[in-house]
Amino acid sequence: MKSQTKLFGICLCTLSAALGCGDPDVFIPLENISGPAGVIDGTVTYAGPLPCTENGKILGNAVILAFDEKLLPPPEGLGTTAASLDMVPGEVLFGGVRDKLAFAPDGTRVCGDPSGPSIAVSGTWGVGPFPAGTYQIRGFYDKLGDFSPVFSIANLPTKGDVGGGAIENAADVLEGAPVKYQSIPLGVPNDKGELEIPEDGFHVSGIAVTLGLPLPLERPVFHATEVIDEFGKNEDPKKVVMASDYQFEEFSTVNPLATEKSFLRMKFGAGLPNDKVAAFNKTEPQLAAAPPFNIPLANPFLLYSRQDANGDGVINGEDHVPDSDLLPALFPVAVFQKLNDGVRIGGQTSPSVVLQGLTIYKSLIATATASAALSEASNEVIVGIRPAVVCIDSANPTKRGVLLTSHKDDKLGNVLIADEEAVKKSLEALFKRPFDLSYGCLPQGEYSMNLIYGTGQAWTVPNEAGVCAANEEAKGTDTCGNRARLASQDVVLTIGAPSDAAYCKANPTPQACLPTPSENAE
C-alpha cells in the first residue's frame, strides 16, 4: 500500500531508559549534551478503531519518537536509535471517552472492530533534551501495549497498530500519497548558517502528531534457511562467511545469469522453523497456546513489493538499486549491521558499519521485469550479499561517511561503480553528510541480519529469543537458564579473513570503518 510507504521507520531502536510521560523524558545521558539543550512538544491526535480493553483497563500507548534528520532509521538512513521517546498511555489518551468503550465483565480482552466505528482523541507529549539540529517526529499507537524499546523482538509496531507522525501532507497520505514528515529546526542559525542552542535553551511547541494509518502487516519475522555459494565453500546457512576481500567472478548487465551466480546469496524463510516452535511448546507447555515470545506467527509470509527509491510518490524506472538502473529496488530491504566484537545484540555505532543486501525476486531477470504493482506474499526472500559497506560515525553527524567496496572491478575487469561522483552525491543526499569512496578489505566481524518493510517494520536476527542474557546460563542450543531458546534467532553473517592476505595488506580497511577503542572496550 503506497500510503504505508516509509510510514515511520523505527527499526533497530535500542533505547535503554525507562518509560514515562509528563515532562520530556530523557533517553540519552545529560552529560552527553554540553551546554544548553532544546525540547520539542505538542499534541497527538489518534483517529482510528476503538482501543482494546482488558481487566478494566485501556490497553496500549501512543509512542512518540524523535529522529535527527542526519540519523534517520532504515530504509531512509542508518540511524540505529531514536534521539528521544515519549509515551502517552491509553488510559490518559482515551480517558475522556472511557464511557464509550466496551469492558468485558469477566476481564477478557475486547478490541474495537478495525472496520467498525472509529474514534478521535487527543493528548500532549514532549521529547528531549536535544542538541541543536533538525528533527522529525514519528510515532504509532501500540494497540496491545506490547512495545518495549529495550528488546529487539518488541521494539516495533505490529499488525493493527496505528502509525503516523508530524506529517506535512496528512490529507494527501490518506489518498495514497507518500508520507512527508515535517522538518523541525531546533536552535537559531549562527553566522555560518548552522543551528545553535541559545544560552537559555530552545523550545519548539505546538507540533501536531497524527496517528491514523492502521498497519496491515506483521513484522517480517524470518530465519535463515539456505545459503547459495557457487564459487565458495559455504553450505550451512547458520554459519555463512564472506571473505573480506570478496570479488565478483562477473558483474555485468549483459550477463545477468553469471552476475547472479557471482553473488553469495542467502534465503530467509518466513516465521520460525516449525520444529523449533514445537520444541518451544514442549519446553514451555504453559505457553503452548501462545506463539514463542509472542512473536507473530499466524500464517507467516514475507511480502515482496517495489520501493519508491527516490521518494517522488511514483513507482517507475527511476526507482532502481545503485548497482544498476535495470534492477528495481525492492522491499523488504535487507541490511546487515556490524556488531560489537563478542556481542550478539546491539550494533556497533562508532562508526556504524552497514552492508545492504540486494533483494532478489526469484532471480535477477525476474527482478528486472518486476511490475510496478508487485505485491506478492512469499514463504521466502532471496538476498544477495554485496561486498560493500557504508561507514558513518553516528556520534558525529558532521564527519564524512565512507562507502567501502572490496574491489574496484570484477575478476574480468568490469568496473563496479561507473559514476563515482553520482554515487557520492546520492549518499550525501541520503545521509546529510559528504561521502568518500574507498576500495579495500571489508571490516571483519559478525553482522546482524535485518529485513525491513516500507512501513519501517523490521525484524532483526540475532535477537533475545535466540541469545542468552548475561545472567542466563546457556544449556545446549535450546535453553537459556530456565527458558527455551530459539537457535534460529541467533545467526549472524560473518565477514572473515581474506582469500588473499597480500591484497588486504595493500588495500587495508580504512580507519573510518574501524571501531573506536571505547566501542570495543564496552
For 478-499, what is each residue's pLDDT tens digit?
Answer: 888 888 889 899 999 999 999 9
Residues pairing with 119 in the sheet: 48
Q: Is the peptide bond before 387 cis (omega within 30 degrees of 0)?
A: no
Query: Which pLDDT score, from 0 to 100, does residue 34 have?
Result: 62
For 5-41, what is each residue's pLDDT tens digit?
Answer: 334 333 333 322 222 333 333 333 344 556 789 999 9
Query: Which pLDDT score, from 0 to 100, does residue 165 have?
Result: 94
- For 343, residues 6+ apart whose C-beta sits below 8 A from its C-beta are none
Per residue of the chain (522 residues), give pLDDT as tens: 333 333 433 333 332 222 233 333 333 334 455 678 999 999 999 999 999 999 999 999 999 999 998 888 776 776 667 889 999 999 999 999 999 999 999 999 999 988 888 899 999 999 989 899 999 999 999 999 998 888 888 888 999 999 999 999 877 776 777 788 999 999 999 998 889 999 999 999 999 999 998 999 999 999 999 999 999 999 999 999 999 999 999 999 899 999 999 999 999 999 998 755 555 555 555 444 456 677 877 789 999 999 988 878 889 999 998 888 899 999 999 999 999 998 988 888 889 999 999 999 999 999 999 999 999 999 999 999 999 999 998 777 778 999 999 999 999 999 999 889 988 988 888 788 899 999 999 999 999 999 999 888 999 999 999 999 888 888 777 888 888 889 899 999 999 999 999 999 999 999 999 987 664 444
6: left (phi over 0), alpha (psi -120 to 50) or beta: left
Burial class (CB in 10 A: 0-12, 13-18, 19+), 67: buried
DSSP 8-state class, residue 509? P
SS3 12: coil
The per-residue b/e assignment along 410-423, b for 16 or more CB within 10 angstroms, e otherwise, is: beeebebbeeeeeb
Query: Which pLDDT score, from 0 to 100, does residue 293 have?
Result: 77
92/109 Cα distance (integer angstroms):
19
**What is the total residue count of the chain?**
522
Domain ranges of the chain: 2-214, 222-521
Confirm if 15 and 27 have CB atoms less than 8 A apart. yes
Average pLDDT of the chain is: 86
> HEC profile for 259-306?
HHHHCEEEEEEECCCHHHHHHHHHHCHHHCCCCHHHCCCCCCCEEEEE
Give the up-direction half-sphere exposure of residue 246: CA atoms within 13 A in the CB hemisphere.
27
By C-alpha distance, which of 86, 98, 88, 163 is closest to 123? 88
